[in-house]
């Protein structure tokens, strides 16, 4: 007599979604010592405290210069399990006329000790100048330079483009060829591109308001929480602009979202509000 098959357990909502990681840019910002950090908290414990309230931080210092391996190790030790950093790639790689010549800068960045972050290492953000226009051949050469694996570890890359020429189907097709996401930038000047082109989503929310304790009004926070959840579940929000009409395959994706730039004083509050909403 054949044994009956046990019914398959249904996947929970969490299993059907990627992780949603939310934070701010950096952790050293003097005004936060009176609005975010507890009074008399030693400065050397600010990262530890920020990481207890947030789930990710975008490190911007790596954009301006090389860090030391011991710095990456120290940062990794000071955050809890499950916390993830994103890093800005160096400006020396992206702020150049010919992107195809950025190979040495990319290599120096990874040789600086980035992998010392271990499982706290998330995406590397490659940010381009607002004056940089889309050149398909040259941008494709840059994407070829980005290492996909190092020392057996899969690496994640995301690009932030800030010229309107990138809001085009050809750019989206190129990114999908390299399975590289584009930043969704909520910004007053830069193009907003919400097309899914990789296996994770990266959003930078840059319209906060320091006059509001929560950085964003509650209705806007609710709307952003819904969008983050849609992305994590594999969908695409229907109220964000896209450069191409082709939809991506619906599969769960990790989502990285940062409350950053405008309203920086209240950015941690905005990030914490979002974290509560997506739980």
User: Does residue 131 form part of some domain?
Assistant: yes
Domain membership of residue 45 (yes or no) is yes
pLDDT of residue 261: 84
Q: What is the CATH number of the domain that holds 206?
A: 3.20.20.410
Q: What is the pLDDT of residue 191?
A: 96
In a domain, 85, yes or no: yes
Number of domains in the chain: 1
In a domain, 7, yes or no: no
Long-range Cβ pairs for the range 186-190 (8 Å, 24+): 187/261, 189/130, 189/162, 190/130, 190/162
Contacts of 23 (CB under 8 A, 6+ apart): 50, 54, 55, 56, 57, 58, 257, 258, 259, 271
Quote the percentage of the chain above a pLDDT of 90. Answer: 93
Q: How far, in Å, CA of 239 to CA of 107, rounded?
A: 39
Where residue 15 falls among pLDDT bands split at 50, 70, 90?
low
125's tokens: 């953000």
In tens, the pLDDT along 222-273 reads 999 999 999 999 999 999 999 999 999 999 999 999 999 888 999 999 999 9
Is the pLDDT score of 12 beyond 60? no
Please give the Cα distance from 205 to 262 (Å, whole number).
9
Predicted confidence (pLDDT) per residue in 91-146, tens digit: 999 999 999 999 999 999 999 999 999 999 999 999 999 999 999 999 999 999 99
Q: What pLDDT is recorded for position 5?
A: 44
Instruction: Report which of 135, 133, 122 is spatially closest to residue 85, judged by C-alpha positions.
Output: 122
Q: Is residue 13 part of a domain?
A: no
Q: Can you say how many angstroms the Cα of residue 133 is from the centroid of all Cα atoms in its chain?
A: 22
The model's confidence at residue 164, banded by pLDDT at 50, 70 and 90, is very high
The 10s digit of each residue's pLDDT in 167-221 is 999 999 999 999 999 999 999 999 999 999 999 999 999 999 999 999 999 999 9
The confidence score (pLDDT) of residue 263 equals 86
Three-class SS state of 120: helix
Q: Is residue 10 part of a domain?
A: no
Q: How many CA atoms lie within 13 A of 265 on its CB side?
A: 9
Helices (DSSP H) in the chain: which residue ranges?
Answer: 32-35, 46-53, 61-64, 69-77, 91-94, 103-111, 136-145, 169-178, 218-232, 267-277
Q: In this structure, is residue 250 part of a structural domain?
A: yes
Query: What's the pLDDT tens digit per position in 27-64?
Result: 999 999 999 999 999 999 999 999 999 999 999 999 99
Angular region, 180: left φ>0, alpha ψ -120 to 50, beta rest? beta
- Map residue 6 onto helix, strand or coil: coil
CA dist list (Å): 204 to 21, 51, 86, 102: 12, 18, 12, 25
Is 250 strand, coil or helix? coil
Whether 266 is covered by a domain: the verdict is yes
% of the chain surpassing 70 pLDDT: 95
Q: Is the pLDDT of residue 4 over 90?
A: no
User: Tokens 């320091």 identify what position?
Assistant: 210
Interhelix angle 218-232/267-277, nearest 10 degrees: 60
State which residues form the domain around 109.
20-277
């Amino acid at each position: 007599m054949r044994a009956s098959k046990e019914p398959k357990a249904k996947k929970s909502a969490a299993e059907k979604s990627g992780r949603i990681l939310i934070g701010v840019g950096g952790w050293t910002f003097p005004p936060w010592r009176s609005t975010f950090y507890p009074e008399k908290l030693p400065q050397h414990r600010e990262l530890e405290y920020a990481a207890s309230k947030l789930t990710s931080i975008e490190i911007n210092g790596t954009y301006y210069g090389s860090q030391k391996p011991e710095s990456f190790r120290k940062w990794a030790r000071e955050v809890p399990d499950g916390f993830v950093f994103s890093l800005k790639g160096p400006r020396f790689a992206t702020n150049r006329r010919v992107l195809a010549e950025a190979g040495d800068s990319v290599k120096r960045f990874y040789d600086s000790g980035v992998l010392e972050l271990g499982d706290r290492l998330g995406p590397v953000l490659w940010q381009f100048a607002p004056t940089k226009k889309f050149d398909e051949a040259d941008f494709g050469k840059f994407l070829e330079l980005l290492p996909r694996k190092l020392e057996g570890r899969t690496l994640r890359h995301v690009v932030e483009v800030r010229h309107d020429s990138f809001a085009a189907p050809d750019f989206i097709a190129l990114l999908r060829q390299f399975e590289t996401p584009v930043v969704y930038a909520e910004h007053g000047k830069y193009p907003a591109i919400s097309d899914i082109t990789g296996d994770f989503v990266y959003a930078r929310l840059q319209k906060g308001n320091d006059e509001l304790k929560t950085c964003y009004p509650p209705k806007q926070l609710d709307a952003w929480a819904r969008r983050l959840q849609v992305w994590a579940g594999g969908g695409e929000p229907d109220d964000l602009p896209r450069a191409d009409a082709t939809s991506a395959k619906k599969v769960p994706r990790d989502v990285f979202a940062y409350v950053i730039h405008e309203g920086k004083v209240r950015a941690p509050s905005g990030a914490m509000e979002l974290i509560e909403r997506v739980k």
